[in-house]
């Protein structure tokens, strides 16, 4: 009887390890933050509030990734009046080493800066 219980427990452990290590994908809505906006300028036009991101990796780390722990900062330091383009948004996200971005939409963000109107 002891050997049956032990083999049942080992089979359950092996199943759990295999199941949790299989690749998984999860969708996140990642907030966009405009940081270091130069003094005297303001963002005009439509800048999305968030981007849709699909993350892939081993099932357990993907499921444990908290949506609130991911944000995308667009650094406007040194930007001037006009359009600043941010390509390669997937490389701007900081994720654990074993996770990767499968898809991000939109893949490119353009921020239009204009002088603030003086009161």
In tens, the pLDDT along 14-48 reads 776 766 667 899 999 999 999 999 999 999 888 89
pLDDT for res 23: 83
Strands of the sheet with 23-35, listed across from one edge: 72-75, 23-35, 50-58, 100-105
CATH number, span 22-115:
2.170.120.30
* CA dist 28 → 5, 7, 66, 70, 109 (Å): 41, 39, 9, 9, 17
Q: Where are the domains of the chain?
A: 22-115
pTM of the model: 0.73
In tens, the pLDDT along 41-95 reads 999 888 899 999 999 998 888 988 888 888 899 999 989 999 999 999 988 888 8
């Amino acid at each position: 009887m002891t050997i049956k219980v032990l083999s049942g427990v080992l089979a359950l452990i092996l199943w759990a390890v295999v199941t949790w290590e299989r690749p998984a994908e999860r969708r996140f809505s990642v907030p966009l933050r405009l940081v270091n906006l130069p003094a005297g300028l303001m963002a005009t036009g439509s800048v999305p509030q968030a981007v849709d991101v699909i993350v892939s990796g081993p099932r357990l780390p993907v499921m444990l990734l908290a949506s609130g722990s991911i944000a995308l900062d667009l650094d406007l330091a040194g930007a001037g009046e006009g359009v600043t383009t941010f390509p390669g948004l997937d490389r701007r996200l900081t994720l654990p080493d074993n996770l990767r971005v499968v898809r991000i939409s939109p893949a490119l963000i353009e921020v239009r800066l204009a002088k603030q109107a003086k009161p």
